[in-house]
Every structure is written in structure tokens, then in C-alpha cells.
């Protein structure tokens, strides 16, 4: 079932709460089963017994049903007491019903009339017509009809068809759940996608294929059948698909990989067939499958002990539809996943997904563009520096940047501000990275001094190392699980040298080194630093070949390569790896202690400043130690890019002024 996405209109139809529906239906069923047609007690008897009681004047009213040939009589109090007497086992006293009746089968209506006339009773007689028989029959059938409707409703809800109108319900469970976006039904365009320049070029070419296919097919080429968007979460894969839907101006089918999965056997494959059948009718068109790893995992793993694997059946059908015996001319399949490594090889081959477009985390320039997009609806003041925000958020995805902008707006609103300032964005970054502030956490003066010395050690050593990340601020305000933190601007390097890794390790170990040198003891506060340093040291030795005794060798895990090896080295080599990693850590730890002893006075001044202010910035560290002698890599890149832009602008200005000069010269002549 292809559900077409309706646009326009803000009203939502009223939907009654399901719990109330269930409660009402169950109440009606319970009442019908408990109700016996009256509010008293009835007893069947023979015609002779009935006629004898009628002669004794035991009835107050008699009702005769002509169709069923029955007579129902209501007893007076004396007859009811003698015929219906009940004793409660709990109360031990008599209980009287309000209304008691007896019922009999009469021979004929005429014989009842003769017996009534000769009995001398004063009871009134009422005759029911034959139509009452149908009323009684209807009353008996109604509960079963309600039960049937109840179960139909349950099946419709379980299959996603309740309230869906025609086409919903368990009988249409094999229909596709894709939403259809018709031409120009979405407002997202490529202008709304900031950054991702290389990915946008690839995606825009697919849109051009659909808009003008003759341009590419006249030379004998074929339009690609599919493109797979791969990248970390939050990088904009789904946003790119939305932009394609807004730019292509062709029918766009959107669904998730989990929409194919169902508890019933064969439903997934049937939905795939229905999806492509509908897409062929509307070709040229685009099918977008989000999170395709839900059905596209490699086959042969976890085969459920030989049982039926519905996911593999769905994948087989998807492979056949994308590139099987039949052709799907005019259908382009887009898919997105952040787990391309687990997808089946047959799904990734050329002819199905001809292109794999990697949507990577944005760099500093892309982050600036993303910030500019999310800052449009915000009220910011002049203190907000977009370049600084882009540099302060390395490794952040587009979704993370949107979250920071929203957090900054909430922080400013909480403080009663009219505009969002630079400090609000800095606090938003700190909150996203480190967590909430915990100023009321119980700490003694000795602990505060130890924390301040630890963070000052990081700041001091990183200031005097060339390849250490530039310092932004240092704080001893607890955030999340951290008691203090030193914030840096990580260098976004494509390759990292041995000296850069060693400088970063030295700066990371400086907190523990400061405690040992100036306090004469160490604490558990450096656990995270030690974990990061140990991982880096082992990576240098085992993976990067940056060791004197084990150079140019990569001891990676071969388990996934089919060789069946989990440790491609001997025990002696393992001991060498341990020794080399420990030696690297020891050397950098000693270097950190030497730098701290060399700059002991500045370290003490910085520690006291931290205890007084709790938060210090780059300017404060520069005031104590002087200007840092090295320019960061990011600053160099920004300066080079600005110089290139200025040269380009100057060249354009010269080109624009040259024709004017020639014209003026000609006119003067």
C-alpha cells in the first residue's frame, strides 16, 4: 500500500483514544452476557403445572408469544415466596428477588384461551405478535456481531490499517508502506544543505540524470541504478535525500529498511515486489530506503539454526528487483546507512548501487557554513564569532551543531536575555561535551587545589609543545563525571606524525606529573588521561610502526579476513609490544615533569588564578607565560584561505575595471 504524503492543511482529524474504545466494547460484551433479558428469575414448567397454578390465582400478568407458542407469567408475592425461596450462606437469612416469572410451552393459542377463561384468574393477558421472534433472534446474534467487529478492529490495528481507510488491515499487509512524495511536494533544496560539497556534486548529478537523460544516453551511457549514502550518524544523509526529493521533480518513494520486516513469512518480499511494481508505473522516479542495513546484512550469518530467515528472503527479492532478469528502466534507488561494513557484497556491487557516496563529518569550513544555516532564525548579538564556533567544534556532525545552537538559545532564554551572546554558545558547547555544571558538588580545599594543579599542568605543558592542541580555556567547575577540564582546539590533521602523537601524550600526562612533582602524591583523577595515553602508545607500536624495536610492522587483527588468525604474532613479540608501549609512556611522562619544573613559577601562578576564578581563558595563560611561539595548523589554513580569497577578489575587480577604462579612452579619442 503506497501512502501518498498530503501537503497543506494544519487540521488533524480527531482520533478517539484506543483504551476508551476497548473499555466500551468490553463493557458492552460483559453486559450482554450477564443480562438474561430481565431483572428477576425465571423457571420453566410443564403446561399442566402452569394451568394448575393459573387456576389457583398465582399469576398477576401473563404474556403469550404467538410465534414461539410460549406463555410467560409473573407470579404474585405469595406464589413467589413458596416457589422461589433462597437462603444466603453468608448472611444466613432469606433473600427475595424483585420479580419472578414462570414459562411454559402451550399446545396452541386457542387451548390457552380456553384454559384461561375457565380458570377464573384475575391475571391480565398480553399477546405478542410473530415479529417479536425476530427481535429475540436479533438480541441473540448482536453479541456475536460485536465480538466479530472487535477482532476485526484488533487485526486492523496490528497490521497498521486502523483509520487508514480503504486498503488498510490484515488483508493488505503485504502492501508496501512507502510514502509517495509527488512533484514539488517538499520544500527542501540543495541550498538548505550546508557543507558536504563533494557529496552534493554526486547527488546533483543523479538529479540531472532524471531531468535530462538524453544528454547522457545519446553517447551510449546508462543512467546509474542506485547510490548508497554512507557516513557517521548525523552527517546529513537523510537531509540530502530530502533535497533530492525537492529538486528532482519526479515521484519520490521514501521508506525505512525496517518497513519490510514483519512477523509473517513472505511479507517482506511481497512488499518489495509491490514497491517496485508501483514505482514502474510512475517511472521515472526515485526510491529512498533509509537505514538499509535492517534488511541488507550479509547473508549466511545467524541462519537461525536452519529455520526460515525472513530478512534474507526480503534481501533476495530486493537484489532481484534492483538488477535481476527484468529491468527497471527509469528507477533510481537511493539508500542510506552508517554500517556499510555489514552489508551484503551482492548489494554493493556495480549494477545495483553503482555509487557509494561517503558523507563524512564536516571540517572547519563546512562547520562554519552549517552554523550560518542554523543561526538564521536565532537572535544573536555582535559578540558571536562563527569562525571560533566552527573551530571549537571539531568532530561535530551537523546534528550536533544544530543541538548546540538550540542549547545556546535555551541558555540565553533561561537567563532572561534578549539576544544570544558568545558566552551562551561557549556554555552550550561545554554542556554538550562535558555535561551539566555541578557547582554544588562537595569538595574540600585540598581537593580543589589538587584539581586546579592538575588542570594547570595540562595547560602549562601544552603551551610549550609545538604539536599540542591550542588551549582555549581551563576550568575547575565540575561537569558530568569530570571534576575539571582543559578545553583545546584540536588540529584537524589528515596525517599525524610521530612527534605530534608524542606531544599530545606529553600534554595528556602533564596533569598526573604535576600532582607527583608539586604534591608528592598521585590521585585517581588521571584515569581518563591514562586510558587515552595507553591506547595511543599501543597504536603507535602495534598499528603505525612507530617503534624502534618493531618498526614498519602492522599487527592488525586478521580475524575478519578469512585466515582464522586472531593474534598474528608470537608471545615474544607481544612482550616487545608491551615494553615499547611502556617505554613511550615513560619517556613522555619524564618530559612532562621536566617542563613543569622548568616553568614552576608560572604553574603556581596559574593554579592560584584557577582557584580564584574557577575559569580562565587563553588570554590569561598568555599573560602568564607570554605569547605562544607557534601558530596552529588551523590558523595557517584560515590565513592561507583568506589570502587566496583576497587575491581572487582583487583579480575580479581588475577584470571589471579594465573594460571601463578602454571605453573611456575610446570616447575621449
What confidence score (pLDDT) does residue 536 get? 93
Q: Which three cell numbers stand for residue 301?
A: 550469518
What is the rounded CA–CA span in Å between residue 121 and residue 123?
Answer: 6
What confidence score (pLDDT) does residue 538 get? 93
Query: For residues 587 and 513, is the Cβ–Cβ distance under 8 A?
Result: no
Share of the chain above pLDDT 70, in %: 73
Claim to verify: residue 121 and residue 188 sit in the same structural domain: no
Query: For residues 370 and 339, is the Cβ–Cβ distance under 8 A?
Result: no
Q: Which three cell numbers stand for residue 515?
A: 600532582
Q: How confident is the model at residue 642 (pLDDT cuts 50, 70, 90)?
A: low
323 half-sphere exposure, CB direction, 13 A CA radius: 14
- Number of domains the chain contains: 4
Q: How confident is the model at residue 133 (pLDDT cuts 50, 70, 90)?
A: low
pLDDT at 543 > cutoff 50: yes
pLDDT at 167 > cutoff 60: no
To the nearest whole number, what is the mean pLDDT of the chain? 77
CATH number of domain containing 61: 3.30.720.210
pLDDT digits (tens, 9 = 90+) for 203-249: 888 788 877 777 877 877 777 788 898 988 888 888 888 888 888 77
3-class SS string, 612-647: HHCEEEHHHHHHHHCCCCCCCHHHHHHHHHHHHHHH
What confidence score (pLDDT) does residue 539 get? 92
CB neighbours of residue 108 within 10 Å: 10
In a domain, 483, yes or no: yes
In a domain, 508, yes or no: yes
When mean pLDDT is compared across 198-202, 272-276, 463-467, the lowest value belongs to 198-202
C-alpha to C-alpha distances, 604 to 301, 590, 594, 595, nearest whole angstrom: 60, 19, 15, 13
**Residues placed in the known binding site for Zn(2+):** 454, 458, 529
What confidence score (pLDDT) does residue 583 get? 94
Q: Which residues are catalytic?
A: 455
Average pLDDT over residues 152-168: 50
Claim to verify: residue 292 and residue 393 sit in the same structural domain: no
Average pLDDT over residues 588-610: 92
C-alpha to C-alpha distances, 22 to 19, 254, 284, nearest whole angstrom: 5, 33, 45
Claim to verify: residue 371 and residue 468 sit in the same structural domain: no
What confidence score (pLDDT) does residue 640 get? 66
Q: Tell me if residue 288 falls in helix, strand or coil.
A: strand
What confidence score (pLDDT) does residue 593 get? 94
Claim to verify: residue 414 and residue 523 sit in the same structural domain: no
Claim to verify: residue 326 and residue 389 sit in the same structural domain: no
Q: Which residues contact 635 (CB under 8 A, 6 or more apart)?
A: none
Query: For residues 58 and 74, is the Cβ–Cβ distance under 8 A?
Result: no
Q: Comparing 622 with 658, which gets the higher pLDDT?
A: 622
What confidence score (pLDDT) does residue 276 get? 86
Q: Which residues contact 573 (CB under 8 A, 6 or more apart)?
A: 550, 555
Model pTM score: 0.61
Q: Tell me if residue 549 falls in helix, strand or coil.
A: coil
Range of the domain at 624: 443-556+568-631
Q: Comparing 396 with 89, which gets the higher pLDDT?
A: 396
What confidence score (pLDDT) does residue 29 get? 62
Q: How confident is the model at residue 3 (pLDDT cuts 50, 70, 90)?
A: very low
Claim to verify: residue 283 and residue 314 sit in the same structural domain: yes
Q: What is the dihedral of CA 606, 609, 614, 617, to 10 degrees?
A: -60
CATH number of domain containing 211: 3.40.50.300
What is the rounded CA–CA span in Å between residue 574 and residue 578?
Answer: 6
What confidence score (pLDDT) does residue 323 get? 78
In a domain, 664, yes or no: no
pLDDT at 400 > cutoff 80: yes
pLDDT digits (tens, 9 = 90+) for 656-669: 665 544 433 333 43
**Residues placed in the known binding site for ATP:** 231-238
Closest CA to 60 of 34, 37, 40: 40
3-class SS string, 366-421: HHHHHHHHHHCCCCECCCCCHHHHHHHCCCCCHHHHHHHHHHHHHHHHHCCCCCEC
Claim to verify: residue 366 and residue 351 sit in the same structural domain: no
In a domain, 536, yes or no: yes
Q: Which residues contact 504 (CB under 8 A, 6 or more apart)?
A: 467, 468, 469, 536
Query: Rounded to the nearest 5°, which phi and psi values hold at 60?
Result: -105, -25
Claim to verify: residue 257 and residue 372 sit in the same structural domain: no
In a domain, 170, yes or no: no
What confidence score (pLDDT) does residue 1 get? 47
Q: Comparing 651 with 313, which gets the higher pLDDT?
A: 313
Q: Which three cell numbers stand for residue 21?
A: 474504545
In a domain, 4, yes or no: no
In a domain, 254, yes or no: yes
What confidence score (pLDDT) does residue 164 get? 38
Claim to verify: residue 465 and residue 522 sit in the same structural domain: yes
Share of the chain above pLDDT 90, in %: 12
CATH number of domain containing 406: 1.10.8.60
pLDDT at 331 > cutoff 70: yes
What confidence score (pLDDT) does residue 473 get? 76
Query: For residues 389 and 396, is the Cβ–Cβ distance under 8 A?
Result: no
pLDDT at 571 > cutoff 50: yes
Closest CA to 588 of 503, 525, 531, 515: 503
When mean pLDDT is compared across 511-525, 559-573, 623-637, the lowest value belongs to 559-573
In a domain, 7, yes or no: no
What kind and span of H or E run contains 423?
helix 422-434
Amino acid at each position: 500500500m503506497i501512502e501518498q504524503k498530503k501537503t497543506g492543511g494544519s487540521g488533524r482529524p480527531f482520533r478517539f483514544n484506543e483504551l476508551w474504545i476497548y473499555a466500551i466494547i468490553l463493557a458492552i460484551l460483559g453486559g450482554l452476557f450477564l443480562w438474561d433479558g430481565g431483572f428477576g428469575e425465571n423457571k420453566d414448567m410443564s403446561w399442566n403445572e402452569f394451568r394448575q397454578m393459573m387456576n389457583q390465582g398465582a399469576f398477576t400478568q401473563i404474556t403469550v408469544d404467538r410465534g414461539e407458542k410460549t406463555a410467560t407469567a409473573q407470579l404474585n408475592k405469595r406464589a413467589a415466596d413458596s416457589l422461589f425461596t433462597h437462603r444466603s450462606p453468608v448472611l444466613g437469612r432469606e433473600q427475595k428477588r424483585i420479580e419472578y416469572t414462570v414459562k411454559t410451552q402451550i399446545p396452541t393459542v386457542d387451548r390457552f384461551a380456553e384454559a384461561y377463561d375457565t380458570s377464573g384468574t384475575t391475571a391480565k393477558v398480553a399477546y405478542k405478535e410473530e415479529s417479536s421472534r425476530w427481535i429475540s433472534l436479533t438480541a441473540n446474534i448482536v453479541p456475536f456481531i460485536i465480538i466479530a467487529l472487535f477482532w476485526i478492529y484488533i487485526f486492523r490495528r496490528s497490521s497498521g490499517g486502523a483509520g487508514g481507510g480503504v486498503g488498510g488491515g490484515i488483508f493488505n499487509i503485504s502492501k508496501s508502506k512507502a510514502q509517495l512524495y509527488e512533484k514539488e511536494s517538499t520544500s527542501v533544496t540543495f541550498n538548505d544543505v550546508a557543507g558536504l560539497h563533494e557529496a552534493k556534486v554526486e547527488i546533483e548529478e543523479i538529479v540531472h540524470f532524471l531531468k535530462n537523460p538524453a544528454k547522457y544516453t545519446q553517447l551510449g551511457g546508462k543512467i546509474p541504478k542506485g547510490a548508497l549514502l554512507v557516513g557517521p550518524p548525523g552527517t546529513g544523509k537523510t537531509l540530502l535525500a530530502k533535497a533530492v526529493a525537492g529538486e528532482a521533480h519526479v515521484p519520490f518513494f521514501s521508506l525505512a529498511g525496517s518497513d519490510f520486516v514483519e512477523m509473517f513469512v513472505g511479507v517482506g518480499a511481497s512488499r518489495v515486489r509491490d514497491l517496485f511494481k508501483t514505482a514502474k508505473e510512475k517511472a521515472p522516479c526515485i526510491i529512498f530506503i533509509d537505514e538499509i542495513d535492517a534488511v541488507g546484512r550479509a547473508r549466511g550469518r545467524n541462519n537461525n539454526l536452519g529455520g526460515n530467515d525472513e530478512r534474507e528472503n526480503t534481501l533476495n527479492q530486493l537484489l532481484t528487483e534492483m538488477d535481476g532478469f527484468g529491468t527497471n528502466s527509469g528507477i533510481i534507488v537511493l539508500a542510506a546507512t552508517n554500517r556499510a561494513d555489514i552489508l551484503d557484497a551482492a548489494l554493493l556491487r556495480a549494477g545495483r548501487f553503482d555509487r557509494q557516496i561517503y558523507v563524512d563529518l564536516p571540517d572547519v569550513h563546512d562547520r562554519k557554513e552549517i552554523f550560518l544555516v542554523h543561526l538564521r532564525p536565532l537572535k544573536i548579538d555582535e559578540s558571536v564569532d562563527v569562525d571560533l564556533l566552527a573551530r571549537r567544534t571539531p568532530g561535530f556532525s551537523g546534528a550536533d551543531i544544530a543541538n548546540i545552537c538550540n542549547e545556546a538559545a535555551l541558555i540565553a532564554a533561561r537567563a532572561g536575555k534578549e539576544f544570544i551572546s558568545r558566552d551562551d554558545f561557549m556554555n552550550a558547547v561545554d554542556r554538550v561535551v562535558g555535561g551539566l555544571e555541578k557547582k554544588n558538588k562537595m569538595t574540600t580545599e585540598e581537593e580543589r587545589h589538587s584539581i586546579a594543579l592538575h588542570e594547570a599542568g595540562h595547560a602549562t605543558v601544552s603551551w610549550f609543545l609545538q604539536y599540542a592542541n591550542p588551549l582555549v580555556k581551563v576550568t575547575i567547575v565540575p561537569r558530568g563525571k569530570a571534576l575539571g577540564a582543559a578545553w583545546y582546539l584540536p588540529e584537524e590533521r589528515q596525517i599525524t606524525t610521530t612527534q605530534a602523537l608524542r606531544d599530545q601524550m606529553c600534554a595528556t600526562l602533564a596533569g598526573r606529573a604535576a600532582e607527583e612533582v608539586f604534591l608528592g602524591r598521585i590521585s585517581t583523577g588521571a584515569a581518563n588521561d591514562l586510558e587515552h595515553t595507553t591506547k595511543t602508545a599501543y597504536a603507535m607500536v602495534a598499528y603505525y610502526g612507530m617503534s624502534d624495536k618493531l618498526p614498519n610492522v602492522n599487527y592488525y587483527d586478521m580475524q575478519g579476513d578469512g585466515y582464522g588468525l586472531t593474534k598474528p604474532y608470537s608471545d615474544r613479540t607481544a612482550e616487545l609490544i608491551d615494553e615499547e608501549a611502556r617505554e613511550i609512556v615513560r619517556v613522555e611522562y619524564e618530559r612532562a615533569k621536566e617542563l613543569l619544573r622548568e616553568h614552576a613559577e608560572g604553574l603556581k601562578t596559574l593554579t592560584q588564578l584557577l582557584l580564584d576564578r574557577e575559569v580562565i581563558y587563553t588570554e590569561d595563560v598568555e599573560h602568564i607565560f607570554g605569547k605562544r611561539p607557534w601558530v596552529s595548523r588551523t590558523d595557517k589554513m584560515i590565513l592561507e584561505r583568506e589570502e587566496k580569497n583576497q587575491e581572487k577578489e582583487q583579480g575580479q575587480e581588475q577584470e571589471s575595471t579594465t573594460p571601463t577604462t578602454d571605453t573611456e579612452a575610446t570616447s575621449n579619442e
